């Protein structure tokens, strides 16, 4: 296993330790979450009773494979704990997410959660967001217009593609990957993008994260928001 994958595994498995009996758990998406979901599956087989809400088709498939009972928002209105990955984490615990294209469902689940834990390898920690191109989910109709509007904000949006075709999200939409290099005011940028007709959601997750679990070659480090803010 590569060093980065090992770190993801460490962080992902550690996050599963915060899942307790009786919880409704939001299940994030991505390769780090694979390890969390697998570990939660082991806990379920040992007897804890939880219900998971998956943030992508891929996550739902892994959850089924590992025996985690699933639910949805027609049955539950509240999520006790959400665990998710991230593409970038800044010093305020603001995030860029959506590298795998699951940002909309992730944001719905993460914002409904009483607590949000982010698990990631140490390469995801950044001083300022923006080196990772910001994923913006847009409706396919007229996406060309949104692309031009975003370009006027100082980015060169790229329509995400897969196997030579436009990548389509679980919600039937497109993703524009927008490189801004450095995002000085994440909230302002998010609001500007969200005000454009046809933008469904941005990958900026602002003021949502309670705890970050970082996987390093030496083990895991847990960062708490309050402590982080004092530094
Ligand atoms: O859409 C994908 C999600 O936001 C992922 O949580 C994020 O891209 C991190 O993925 P990974 O754990 O594979 O680095």
pLDDT tens, position by position, 8-35: 999 999 999 999 999 999 999 999 999 9
**Of 45, 57, 43, 55, the residue nearest 13 (C-alpha):** 43
The string of pLDDT tens digits covering residues 185-215 is 999 999 999 999 999 999 999 999 999 999 9
Q: How confident is the model at residue 230 (pLDDT cuts 50, 70, 90)?
A: very low
Over 90: is that where the pLDDT of 229 sits? no
**Of 164, 170, 176, 168, the residue nearest 137 (C-alpha):** 176
Annotated binding site for substrate: 29-32, 84-87, 97-100, 124
CATH of the domain at 169: 3.30.70.260
The string of pLDDT tens digits covering residues 35-44 is 999 999 999 9
User: Same domain for 48 and 66?
Assistant: yes
User: Same domain for 12 and 115?
Assistant: yes
In a domain, residue 82? The reply is yes
pLDDT on residue 38:
98
Residues 6+ apart with CB under 8 A from 144: none
User: Same domain for 113 and 158?
Assistant: no
Cα first-last separation, the chain = 34
Could you tell me the two tokens for 216?
């390093």
Catalytic center residues = 106
- 97 pocket-lining for ligand 1 (C-beta < 6 Å): yes
Burial (CB < 10 A; 0-12, 13-18, 19+), residue 36, is buried
Note the ipTM here. Answer: 0.98
* Look-up of token digits 């928002």: 73
User: Same domain for 29 and 79?
Assistant: yes
Dist. CA 61–CA 83, nearest whole Å = 17
In a domain, residue 217? The reply is yes
- 137 pocket-lining for ligand 1 (C-beta < 6 Å): no
What 3-state DSSP class applies to 119?
Answer: strand
Work out the average pLDDT over 224-231. 56
**Of 134, 136, 89, 83, the residue nearest 106 (C-alpha):** 83
pLDDT on residue 59:
98
The total of structural domains in the chain comes to 2
The string of pLDDT tens digits covering residues 67-110 is 999 999 999 999 999 999 999 999 999 999 999 999 999 999 99
pLDDT on residue 1:
82
Q: How confident is the model at residue 225 (pLDDT cuts 50, 70, 90)?
A: confident
Q: How confident is the model at residue 227 (pLDDT cuts 50, 70, 90)?
A: very low
- 155 pocket-lining for ligand 1 (C-beta < 6 Å): no
**Containing structural domain, residue 165:** 134-202
- Whether residue 212 contacts residue 91, with contact meaning beta carbons closer than 8 Å, is answered with no
Q: Which atom of ligand 1 has the smallest separation from the CA of 56?
A: 1
Over 90: is that where the pLDDT of 231 sits? no
User: Same domain for 138 and 76?
Assistant: no
The string of pLDDT tens digits covering residues 132-187 is 999 999 999 999 999 999 999 999 999 999 999 999 999 999 999 999 999 999 99
pTM of the model: 0.96
User: Same domain for 70 and 146?
Assistant: no
User: Same domain for 86 and 140?
Assistant: no
User: Same domain for 75 and 168?
Assistant: no
Dist. CA 19–CA 44, nearest whole Å = 10
């Amino acid at each position: 296993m590569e060093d980065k994958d090992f770190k993801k595994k460490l962080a992902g498995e550690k996050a599963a330790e915060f899942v307790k009996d009786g919880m409704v758990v939001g299940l994030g998406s991505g390769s780090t979450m694979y390890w969390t979901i697998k570990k939660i599956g082991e806990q379920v087989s040992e007897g804890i009773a939880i219900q998971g809400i998956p943030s992508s088709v891929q996550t739902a498939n892994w959850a089924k494979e590992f025996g985690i009972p699933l639910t949805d928002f027609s049955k539950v209105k509240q999520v006790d704990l959400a665990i998710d990955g991230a593409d970038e984490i800044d010093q305020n615990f603001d995030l860029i997410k959506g590298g795998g294209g699951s940002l909309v469902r992730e944001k719905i689940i993460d914002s409904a959660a009483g607590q949000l834990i982010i698990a990631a390898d140490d390469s995801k920690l950044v001083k300022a967001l923006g080196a990772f191109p910001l994923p913006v989910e847009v409706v396919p109709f007229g996406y060309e217009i949104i692309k031009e509007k975003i370009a006027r904000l100082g980015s060169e949006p790229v329509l995400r593609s897969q196997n030579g075709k436009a990548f389509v999200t679980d919600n039937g939409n497109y993703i524009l990957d927008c490189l801004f290099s450095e995002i000085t005011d994440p909230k302002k940028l998010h609001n500007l993008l969200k005000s454009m007709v046809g933008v469904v959601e941005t990958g900026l997750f602002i003021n949502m994260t309670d705890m970050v679990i970082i996987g390093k070659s030496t083990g895991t480090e847990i960062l708490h928001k309050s402590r982080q803010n004092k530094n």
